[in-house]
Chains A and B, each alone.
Chain A
Amino acid sequence: MIFGLLVLHVAVCVVLACAGRRLGRSSLLVGAVPPACSALWGAARLGASPPATADVTWVNGLDLAMTFRVDAFAEIMTLIVSGIGVLVFVYAFGYFGPGATHTGRFATTLLAFSTSMLGLVWADSVWTLFVFWELTSVTSFLLVGHKSTDTEVLAAARRALMVTAGGGLVLLAGLLLVTGEAGTTLISELAPVDGTAATIGAVLVMIAAATKSAQVPFHPWLPGAMVAPTPVSAYLHAATMVKAGVVLVAVAGPALGGIGAWKGCGLAFGVASIVWGALGALRHRDAKLILAWGTVSQLGMLITLFSVGTPVAVLAAVALLVAHALFKGALFLIVGEIDVRAGTRHIDELGGLARSMPVAFAAAVLAGLSMAGAPPLFGFVAKETAIQAALGLDGAEAWVVGFGVIGGSVLTVAYTFRFLVAVFGPGPETPLSPRRHALSVPPLVLAVGGLAAFAVLGPLDAVLAPAAVRLSGGAPVDHLHRWPGLEPALAISAVVLVVGAIVGLALGRTPGQAPADHAGRWTDASIDGMVAFGRATVVRVQHGSLPVYLVTMAAVAPLAATPLLADISLDHLVRWHTPLQGVLAATVVGAALALCWVGTRLGAGLALGAAGITVAAVFVIHGAPDLALTQLLVEAAIVVGFVLAFGHLSRSFPKTGLRWRTVRMTVAGLGGVAVVIGLAAASGNPVGAPPLAELAAASVGEGGGSNIVNVILTDIRGLDTLGEVLVLATVALGVQALARAASSREGSAS
């Protein structure tokens, strides 16, 4: 069934990709079908056991497999991912009016994202999780950049991609370390690990989770991603994708929770994000940005609770996960409706919406109160449990978590009230475009969901508690309570609500300036900084100048020859076999040196010829008459060619700077020395002898010729000779082509 659903998703994706243009806006409705099926399947499975599993091997040698396991927690996530997915598809149908373009492409990408997210929450193998993790980053990039002609949009898409995919690389390293230590790649089989490698791995995994879940200091990509169409913001950047990091922390918790650094990092990220995110939500003036910053804060709360890892904290986190998906999804969709109908979402330009958009207002109040943690909504239950979890801790941890949870709650209440007052408060009425049902129904469904969840807490608890048990490593978990009784937690909650409400109402319509996006600019600057660093590097290594490249190579070669120095021996060196060799050696070096000083090209040609003839003489003495003959012919041809190519330019060689000439001389000298050392060292203690007698015998016998060199060339190593002939033929083609280019397009060079 798991594979069936995934195949259905992918198949519809392909259909939409091919037929999207023709289907237009209705492709969004087609796209809603697979998530609907998945959501129904997930709902039908609630409470079922054992978990549904499926796996297929991909790369055995690397333990890469597509392994899925849908347990109690995955079922809840399925409902969130696919259930909200259906609503978002329907909503998007309304969001993009009849005239919108590229809706087919949008539907395809959105469904691709939905599929990836589903794969992620179903994954049991860490590599399966990783595959879908990266796919959500890529599809998120494509969705954020939907309005692709806007440079601001492009920058935001790039920022989101680089932070989340960069986190992916960290995750890759972390997973390799952790699985190497744990000896398994299956999340369900991960046992608690410790040790240095595991600790580094755990920290890397936590960092990766923080990038994906937009934790401080990686958060700027999330507010930036608000340039995306609202369905994307609601779905990816509130309800699902940003939860991927949280999911990772949750499922890895039982195995890594015992590592101190894991918990320390998680609390640091979480508490910092709770506070900084909430402060951002209090200061921004774009309704969507207020919600986005609120998301950073809420995600911080989730990371904090999952990092704490006690059964109560995990239960609170699971409850908050569900509650957040409902209320934040609803609020985003409401802001999107306002954006579409009012043409703005800036709080200074909105007014009187409570009257003109009563349905949206009602939904917003329900969702907002749930976000603030007020009864009788599900957010209240989640927050009460969170406060209880904080109160149940000891020592420094209690203070940190307590500060995060309680302080965060106050701020949350404050920005919620500010949001409601600012968006729906009194003011000159904003003109609206006509109502669209596809826009107003989905948020209402989600908002009422928060109320319904509170009403049917019993059955819901039966679903959430097993998930919490699974995520706290099997420890028994308390139940969720609709009414906690007269306990400290309730008193704290009351104070939080009152204080937060006062602050929020006071700030509600206060005029002010939105804060500058320093962190965002810093993130972009560090991405651009890498590009600039690249440029700075490349001008140092890539001069574009052939002589520099050649000198580099000629300098590396002697370096490579240095090991040979260790075994150099001079014992086997003889001065010469005949004194004539000494004379010839001196002559050829002399001719070569003359080539450095000679001024005219004709003189150069002559000296070149002299060197060639001397080499031919060396061959004669060495017992190689064939070589000598060939050498003479070749040399003559080259000298003629040289004079033809350069001869009638009677200009001196250009002079070069002294410093550069010294570098060249040094490198060239070292190169000469290296070759000499190489030959001298290699001949010191040879480990094999050439088969001379066999060659002679074979030549006469099978080769049928007495000139052994000829037999080798034509028969024994005939393949080399074939290659040599082909080289010459190819050169002929090339020379001809260049000559023809010269004659046909003279001067028309680009």
Chain B
Amino acid sequence: MNAALLLAIGGLTAVGLYLLTSRSLSRIVIGYSLLGHATVVALITAGGPAGWPPIAGGAAPEDMSNPLPQALTLTAIVISFGLTLFLLALARRQRTLSGDDLVEDDLEDRRIAAVESGPTETEDSVAT
């Protein structure tokens, strides 16, 4: 296992999670993007050490990098690309509707919380 890549994965994950948990949609998109990077690097790292491109006849099989994780990674990249696009479309729609790009709280949950205790400060309202 490669410590440098591990570090990259860990760093990308941490920053990605930090941004994903923010209230701004643009940051959420960035966070998801970074998490996507972390997963694909993790997947190819899972396949073993770096090697020659897996072209049959180009190098001996034992010198090649593992092709299977590459194929999985490719699928993962495309899927996460599609989802990112969808997230962007959703964000755009959200901006049209509410004029900003902040994630809103669920109204019904808020209503019940208000019934329960009156309008109190909870942890996430600090986050706004």
Contacts and interface: CB of A to CB of B under 8 A. Distances in A.
Direct contact of A and B (CB under 8 A): yes
A429 interface: no
B102 to A, nearest CB: 7
A237 to B, nearest CB: 36
Contact of A706 (B20, B55, B72): B55
The A interface, classified by DSSP as helix, strand, loop or mixed, is helix
Contacts of B84: 638, 641
A645 B92 contact: yes
A550 B127 CA distance: 13
A623 B4 contact: no
Contacts of B6: 573, 676, 679-680
Nearest to B92: A645
Interface in B100-116: 101-103, 105-110, 112-113, 115-116
A592 B16 contact: yes
A671 B52 CA distance: 32
In the A-B complex, the 7 residue pairs with the smallest Cβ-Cβ separation, listed nearest first, are: A544-B109, A672-B14, A544-B106, A623-B65, A589-B11, A668-B17, A545-B124
Interface in A569-621: 572-578, 581-582, 584-585, 588-589, 592-593, 595-596, 601, 604, 608, 611-612, 615, 618-619, 621
Given A545-B124, A611-B12, A723-B75, 20 more contacts: A543-B122, A543-B123, A547-B21, A574-B1, A592-B12, A595-B30, A623-B50, A623-B52, A624-B44, A642-B30, A646-B25, A653-B26, A668-B16, A671-B17, A675-B9, A675-B10, A675-B13, A675-B38, A717-B75, A728-B81
Given A574-B2, A622-B65, A623-B64, A589 B86 contact: no
B105 A672 contact: no
Interface string B21-61: 11111110110011001101110111111111111111001
Given A623-B53, A634-B81, A654-B102, A690 B26 contact: no
Contacts of A622: 44, 50-51, 65
A708 B54 contact: yes
Q: Is the interface of B mostly helix, strand, loop or mixed?
A: helix
B17 A582 contact: no
Contact of A696 (B56, B102, B123): B56
Interface string A647-665: 0010001101101100111
Contacts of B106: 544-545
A669 B103 CA distance: 23
A693 B61 contact: yes
Given A611-B34, A623-B65, A724-B79, A574 B86 contact: no
B42 A675 contact: yes
The size class of the interface chain A forms with chain B is: 35 or more
Interface of B: 1-27, 29-30, 33-34, 37-38, 40-42, 44-58, 61-62, 64-68, 70-75, 77-79, 81-86, 88-93, 95-97, 101-103, 105-110, 112-113, 115-117, 122-128
B44 to A, nearest CB: 5
Nearest to B90: A738
A344 interface: no
A348 to B, nearest CB: 42
A1 interface: no
A735 B3 contact: no
Contacts, number: 345
A656 B38 CA distance: 25
A550 B108 CA distance: 19
A653 B110 CA distance: 24
Given A593-B15, A671-B14, A734-B89, A621 B50 contact: yes
Nearest to A538: B112
Q: Which of B61, B82, B103 has the most chain A CB atoms inside 10 A of its CB?
A: B82
A627 B44 contact: yes
A291 B85 CA distance: 72
A653 B67 CA distance: 40
Contacts of B66: 690, 692
Contacts of B48: 690
Nearest to B26: A646
Contact of B17 (A535, A539, A554, A660): A554
Contact of A539 (B5, B8, B113): B113
B79 A727 contact: yes
Interface string A709-750: 100110011001101100110110011001101100010010
Contact of A659 (B24, B38, B126, B128): B126
B73 A627 contact: yes
Contacts of A679: 1, 6, 9, 42, 45-46
A699 B88 contact: no
A592 B108 CA distance: 36
Contact of A735 (B30, B50, B65, B86): B86
Interface in A424-459: none
B38 A721 contact: no
A641 B87 CA distance: 10
A731 B101 contact: no
Contacts of B38: 675
